[in-house]
Amino acid sequence: MQATHLALIAVFIATGAACLITSNVIFYQILNEVNSKHSPEQRFGFIFANVRFFEIMRDHARLFPESRKRGLMYMWTGIGFALLLMVLFLGSP
C-alpha cells in the first residue's frame, strides 16, 4: 500500500469517528431536553440511555416536534458510518 492510500484510510477513520462522536453529543443534548420536561422520578439515566434510545427519541419528537436535532443526529450518524464503511472498501486489495 502506498503512503497516500494509508493516509486516506486514516483520514476516513478519523473523520468517521468524529462524526459519530458529534452524533453522540447531539443525542445527549436531546436527552437533556427530554429530561428537563420530565419530573425527577421519570427522568432517563445517563448511563444506560442508549438502551432506551427509541423511547427517548419518541419522547423528544412528542415534546419538541419542531426540533432539528433528531435529523442532525441521524445525518451525522449516517455520514460517520458511511465513512467507516469506505475504509472497508479502501482496505481491500
Distance CA 22, CA 15 (A): 10
pTM: 0.88
Indicate whether 93 pLDDT > 70: no
User: What domain range is 49 assigned to?
Assistant: 3-91
Count of domains in the chain? 1
Give the distance from CA 10 to its chain's centroid.
20
pLDDT at residue 92 is higher than 70: no
pLDDT of residue 88: 87
Task: Quick: pLDDT tens for 41-85.
Answer: 999 998 889 899 999 999 999 999 999 999 999 999 999 999 999
Of 67, 64, 72, 24, nearest to 46 by C-alpha is 24
The pLDDT, as a whole number, for residue 75 is 97
Q: Which one-letter amino acid corresponds to residue 84?
A: L
| Angstrom distance (rounded) from CA 43 to CA 83 | 34
pLDDT digits (tens, 9 = 90+) for 37-51: 999 999 999 888 989
